[in-house]
Structure 1
Amino acid sequence: RFTPAAELPDAPTPLPPWPPAGAAQADALAALVSRHPADLDALARTFGLAAPDALRPLVQRLAAAGTVGVRWQENRLHVLPPPPPAPAAVPLILGSVSPRRQRLFREAGLRFEILPVDTEELHDSADPVGTVVHNARAKHAACRARRPDGVLVTADTLVWFEGQLIGKPADRAEAVRFLRGFSGRTQTVFTAVAFSRPGDAEPALRIEASRVHFRRLDEATITAYLDRTSTLDRAGAYDIDEHGEQLIAGYDGSYTNIVGMPMESVLDWLRHHAPECLNG
């Protein structure tokens, strides 16, 4: 452990500037320990000093300036090369303008930048997993071309119901038809998430599937729900996070996946591949 100068025992405070003649000694000491770390006694002998404490003020000043490192070991003060500079912060970038995904990132305590992305999306009802993988990768490539410097996360989510991909309703009438069809049935929500660090050749992918079980819905329930909730911008014309208890009897799998981003997968990937992004 490197010990800040303020923690060294018997450190005289305040310390006056050393004389101009000490500058050459300071340079010589820093150059010496960069090649041969040593304890204070050995350094004092090297510099022809009878008492090691005579060198202590100089070591303290160099440590405070970051020119050398210091460490206590076996009751001796060891002078070391300076610690390496802290790595530059790598920004976490969310390639999505979805308010729900942004809220999930904020609730997880993540600091992130938002990067809007506009790509042509694939819709293949015969292959829901291939669809979300293709779309997440396409979004990732578009974002990475614009921001090569950050840890990047993109995602694509779809609702798959009885062999069909369910998108956003065009209007309220279609929203009613969607919810009427979901009544008493189960659908699957798929999300693919693409991750990469700067310089990665290809993004890593995580795929999540959750099942949503709907209550039996009568016309009054559907009307009341749509009156209370704006859902035209949401796949399937519902939001489990907004009055979802009116429609949904239960679910299997990740709740946040149903909202739009499986945060369990996001946090796990960051923990293993970009832990600096978890420090807030």
Structure 2
Amino acid sequence: MTSHPSATTRRDLLAATTARLRAAGLDEPAREARLLVKAALGLTDADLIARDEVAVEDGHIVHLTALTSRRAGGEPLARLTGRREFWSLDLALSPDTLVPRPETEILVEAALAAFPERDSPLRILDLGTGSGAILAALLAERPAAYGVGVDRAEGAARQASINLERLGFSGRFGILVGEWAQAIGARFDLVVSNPPYIVTSDIATLEREVREHDPHLALDGGADGLEAYRAIAAALPGLLAPGGRVVLELGAGQEAAVAGLLRARNLTPTPARRDLAGIARAIVAEAP
């Protein structure tokens, strides 16, 4: 028996998905609907624009309906599509990785400003690399650099390696599984990290998309939110080359405490870069 495609077209699905997400109160229902339709049907933007009258098979409709219900119920879009753009790079995600946030690009900006020469042969260490987003952005902007990423979660380390390889950085990176810098025996010009910095008791108050879908290992900064910073700061004297710099992402209100931890290790911090909300977001410190 021949299976006949549904009379529902791509255009119909896009309209229906947009309406469903709008009814759920999402801020950008049209943009998110387009991304969900593309993910569910395996389409490109060109497919949706130039061939929106193509009928869709019932199985694809069922899959899209399920994805739309999950998004309307609060599951992050990036978790549903399995992808997120960061620094104009397309990254695949896994359950062990955070969804890269726009504010983390401020850390990348600070690191690039610390080493402004594009062809500088930097040695970069990314602690808690997750999806590899930060390391990928830095390797893209500094083509003579070599980077090492470390993560405690084996799944995150595996995903970072996949992303970096797919983005064309083969031969320019290494990925390790380890507890911060314990597996590292080299020195670097630049150390970067977006460590877990949420106070343990505050995790329950985070937005639902974060508290229910991001890995808690990548969120939980301990009783005061500074546990990871202490571990990183203690390792920095043995990680940074002379004149090397560290760039750390900060949580709200953590600048003074983290600056103190860095000074205690004979590093010299400068005032942190702020995000659009005025929050001190990325602190840079230099080794002697």
Normalised-by-shorter TM-score class: under 0.3
TM-score for both structures, normalised by structure 1? 0.24
TM-score for both structures, normalised by structure 2? 0.24
Between structure 1 and structure 2, the one with the greater Rg is 1
